[in-house]
């Protein structure tokens, strides 16, 4: 099995060194970059599984970097930023980040979030053979691929896991907290708002009208329900 690689993009050397030390201690292969252009070049060349990204970078800020990155990469991206306002978090998640952690931060919490993100690469016994087929959507859990009406749909890691979790519980209402725990794990300390942002991404990519959704339905005050019909054999 290939060694898991992590790219740290941050202009503060002490942050890069601290995070790199903790990640290497966990056995990950670690790369670092000190500015936006170098970070984007490294991400596209090295294709790491996880990218830890600062927003305030010289020459190319983290937001623009992420926009460009998402055109070619589905790496699990954790934004690590001093910007702690909810609006900043929503912007980061809206353009393709999978998680958001504010500075100052606990290195152990960051490690926990990296592990939670990587769990999707080893989904457990039988996962590689699982295929869910509905009237409009088909999900191949092993290949981590999704089709809508026969056409492939490009999803980020978090979006795929959110859709797969909802589909596995078709017809059942899942709360935001349940979805957080299912996808990011019990060691996740994030906000439930993360789920709403990713649901919005999924609906857009699946052509599901947010004003009248048919595939991922909002159950007000509770959570979300996957409603696509099971395809009869």
Q: What is the CATH number of the domain that holds 12?
A: 3.40.50.2300
Domain boundary among 121, 143, 165: 121
Residue with tokens 């601290």: 18
110 and 16 together in one domain: yes
Range(s) of the domain holding residue 218:
127-226
The string of pLDDT tens digits covering residues 129-166 is 468 899 999 999 888 899 999 999 998 888 898 999 99
Residues 37 and 108 in one domain: yes
Q: What is the pLDDT of residues 55-95, one digit of tens each?
A: 999 999 999 999 999 888 888 899 998 887 777 777 888 78
Is there a single domain that holds both residue 147 and residue 106? Answer: no
Tell me how many domains the chain contains.
Answer: 2
The answer on 100 and 22 residing in a single domain is: yes
Same-domain pairing of 32 and 102: yes
Find out whether 142 and 201 touch, Cβ atoms under 8 Å: no
Cα–chain-centroid distance for residue 106? 20
User: Over 60: is that where the pLDDT of 223 sits?
Assistant: yes
Residues in the chain: 233
Q: Work out the number of other CB atoms within 10 angstroms of the CB of residue 184.
A: 24
Query: Is residue 99 situated within a structural domain?
Result: yes
Cα 118 to Cα 37, 161, 198, distances in angstroms: 25, 11, 18
């Amino acid at each position: 099995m290939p060694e898991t690689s992590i790219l740290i993009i941050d202009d503060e050397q002490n942050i890069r060194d601290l995070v790199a030390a903790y990640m290497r201690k966990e056995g990950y292969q670690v790369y670092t970059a000190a500015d936006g252009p170098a970070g984007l070049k490294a991400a596209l060349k090295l294709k790491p599984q996880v990218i830890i990204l600062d927003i305030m970078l010289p020459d190319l800020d983290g937001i623009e970097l992420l926009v460009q990155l998402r055109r070619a990469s589905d790496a699990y991206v954790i934004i690590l930023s001093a910007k702690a306002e909810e609006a900043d978090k929503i912007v980061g998640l809206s353009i393709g980040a999978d998680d958001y952690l504010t500075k100052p931060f606990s290195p152990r919490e960051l490690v926990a979030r990296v592990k939670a993100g990587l769990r999707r690469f080893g989904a457990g016994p039988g996962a590689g053979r699982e295929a869910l087929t509905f009237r409009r959507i088909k999900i191949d859990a092993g290949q981590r691929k999704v089709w809508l009406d026969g056409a492939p749909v490009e999803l980020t890691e978090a979006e795929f896991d959110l859709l797969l979790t909802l589909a596995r519980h078709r017809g059942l209402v899942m709360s935001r907290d349940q979805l957080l725990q299912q996808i990011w794990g019990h060691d996740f300390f994030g906000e439930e708002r993360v789920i709403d942002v990713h649901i919005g991404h999924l609906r857009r990519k699946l052509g599901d009208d947010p004003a009248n959704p048919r595939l991922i339905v909002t159950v007000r005050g509770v959570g979300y329900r996957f409603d696509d019909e099971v395809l009869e054999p």
